[in-house]
A and B are shown apart, each in its own frame.
Chain A
Amino acid sequence: MSQWVLKGIRTGIRTTRYPREPERAAGVTPGLPRGGDFGSDAPALVARCLTGALDQTQGTVSVDPRRCVHCYRCVRGIEHSLNWEPSYEWAGAGSSSSRELGQAFRRSIHILVVDAGDCGACLNEVKQLNNPYYNMHRLGFFITPTPRHADVLLVVGPVTDQTRFALQKVHEAMPTPKRVVAVGACALSGGVFANSFVCANGVADILPVDVAVPGNPPPPLAILHGLLVAVGRKPAQRLVPAEQQAAAAQP
């Protein structure tokens, strides 16, 4: 057995310094497209998007990260492509107005992970948070198997009809105050499974969502950022461009 102890010590510390410092290693994030002024190319760019994540008004392309599924059609096989940003701090506020967790939960929370029809990738990225590179325990984040101990409900997947009942029961069984973090494009908009007879268009159709983490799948750092937003240790990002929000608010 001592061989494992020695091996562990010899491996040393590999953990990222995020959130204290940004992580700059290659391949930690798939990135997201960034909008901008593309003039006459804008309609062609928007037409290439397969999930309606892009929109344009008078040549200015805007991106709805909740719908982006990283198909790269707006950067690959096209001459005037969108810029692709290797960021990962994507988490924004959901539509819920439920009570915040408060000061007492800033340092340590227990998280219940529910798979509501996920393709496996989001779940695998959540799992990576336990590996030494991310080691979320150092930030006071723990996974719990029971709803009775959970402060945060982390949901992946578009919520299929056959997982909906279990999801609702789990949410009801959690003590208050509680937060719901929806992770991944499917959990935010239904993703490629949207508008179907067999699943909802994301978690918000079923439960109040407090924090939304875009990405298909969001890399571990984005999920970590989402959890930090949920406990109030990081500010939330704006998910929808200001002009779109204004347009939606108009009757």
Chain B
Amino acid sequence: MVEEWRCSFAGLIVEEGASAWQLRYAFYGEGEASWVHLLVSAPLGEKVFPSVVEWIHAADWHEREAEDMFGVRFEGHPHLGDFVLHDDVWQEGVEPMRHGFNAQTAMHNRRPKVDWRPRRIVQEPGAFIMPIGPKFSGITESVHFLLETVGEDVIRSSTRLFYKWRAVEKLAEGETIEQGLLLAERFAATTAFAHGLAFCQSVESVCGLQVPPRARALRVFLAELERLRQHAGAIEEICESTALAVATSQAGLLEEELLRLSGALTGHRYLFGLLAAGGLLCDLPTEACSGTLERAQHILKRLNELEHRLSLSSSFLDRIEDVGVIAAQTAKDYSLVGPVARASGLSRDLRRVLPYSGYEAFNFDVPSEREGDGYARLRVLFAESRQSVRIMAQAVTALTGGGVCAAVQYRSGAALGWVEAPRGAAFHWVRLDEGGRIARYRIVTPSFTNWHSFHLAAEKFAFQDFPIILATFDLSVAESDR
């Protein structure tokens, strides 16, 4: 299916029903094959399922996560264990996503494996593992890298995530939709609006809500403002990783100005507290939106100038070209998303292939590159920023009168909500029970998807390129760890 219909793997959603497991493998594609859900059901007593990683490599981490969370095993999976639940913190047999597990009380009497050691693959004489993190460098998120090396060149690297695991999916269970939205906005707040929007859209499809046109246009406007800001931040990171001081400052100025712009328009610099199931919590005046657009257009001009200057800086290009290459086939095998996938020729954008919130009415391009290296990813970021401002301009003209929030009537059921977040495709699966409370919440984030392939980009490289490869991937640990 992945080959023939050219589908991408969206995610594995495991649900524990009253008497049976339900494993839902979701795929998305273009044209007629827009959504394909493969369902596997088995009685709760059954705890072993066949693994699909042999055919769908992108399901690798999903199966590892399900094994840690539910205690189900996937026969044929080459490497289970020590993923979300670290073996040096938790003992075997903890199954936190099972219904019987109480999420509110702290767990005492743990029996962790204190002698846990990372796996060593490289066996050459003189080979050693260089550990980086979880606390490393200046201002970085907590994540652990193991670089296997015999000296200057790193032969192989692996990433240990989930230090920051906050069990958002578990905490949301049994909560109201409003509480769920708080979590959706705040588990990865640099892209808060995108994730909040995905959550709202999934609740809206469960309850059959029609979002008023004004709210739809405002949502598009704000989502693109967030994308522009997040991309400016990513560009700053890339400049910083190559130690280009003035460019870092210039990008930093733009990011701060976009943060202030968001703050001045909506009250909050990261667009918290705007979304509600059914529309928006409050209206934004049209004049303020067009004022914001003008400022954004001015900022874009300076962003374009920055790109031009960077393209003339040979010392910068030397460091960023041909580093961290992701081949087109890898992007397909791993079902990569966002700017990382588009820089490797996998030009798939949910706003285009599966439009939501009225994106079908907007004119925009999906920029893509072929090289798959750090510079290609940087160019995609710049090109997407231009498209974002283009969409914002159309969204302002699309602002009609009328209300911004539909009345909410809860229904039980489940649905998938999706958005093209700044870092790529995000999927939120929400199941509501009869009382309008959340029974199951599953989040598949673009960072989780893209981290999976990161070790391939960080393979056989010179050690000093590591921060550059990391920066060009624009990965969020919080988004992946949930």
Contacts and interface: CB of A to CB of B under 8 A. Distances in A.
A121 B479 CA distance: 11
A249 interface: no
A197 B246 contact: no
Interface in B135-175: 135-142, 162-168, 170-171
Interface in B170-219: 170-171, 178-179, 182-183, 186-190, 192
Interface residues of A, number: 69
B164 A118 contact: yes
Interface string A62-78: 00000001111100110
A216 B255 contact: no
B19 interface: no
A51 B245 CA distance: 41
A27 interface: yes
B87 to A, nearest CB: 11
B269 interface: yes
B225 to A, nearest CB: 12
Contacts of A27: 259-265, 269
A108 B476 CA distance: 31
A145 B163 contact: no
A111 to B, nearest CB: 10
Interface in B75-131: 86, 89, 96, 101-107
Interface string B315-348: 1000000000000000000000000000000000
A214 to B, nearest CB: 14
Interface stretch (A95-103, A188-196, A235-243): A188-196
A126 B139 contact: yes
Chain B: interface size category: 35 or more
Q: Which of B255, B263, B313, B476 has the most CB of A within 10 A?
A: B263
Contacts of B259: 27, 128
A125 B272 CA distance: 15
A197 B96 contact: yes
Interface string A115-126: 111111101111
Contacts of B54: none
Contacts of B236: 131
Interface string A15-59: 000000000011111110000000000000000001100000000
A226 interface: no
24 contacts: A1-B313, A3-B312, A26-B264, A50-B178, A71-B272, A72-B273, A72-B281, A73-B178, A115-B477, A116-B142, A121-B189, A121-B190, A123-B141, A128-B252, A128-B259, A132-B249, A158-B166, A160-B166, A162-B89, A163-B134, A192-B171, A193-B168, A196-B166, A219-B269
Q: 10 closest pairs, A vs B, by CB? A: A27-B263, A131-B252, A27-B260, A72-B273, A121-B189, A27-B264, A26-B264, A4-B246, A119-B189, A120-B190
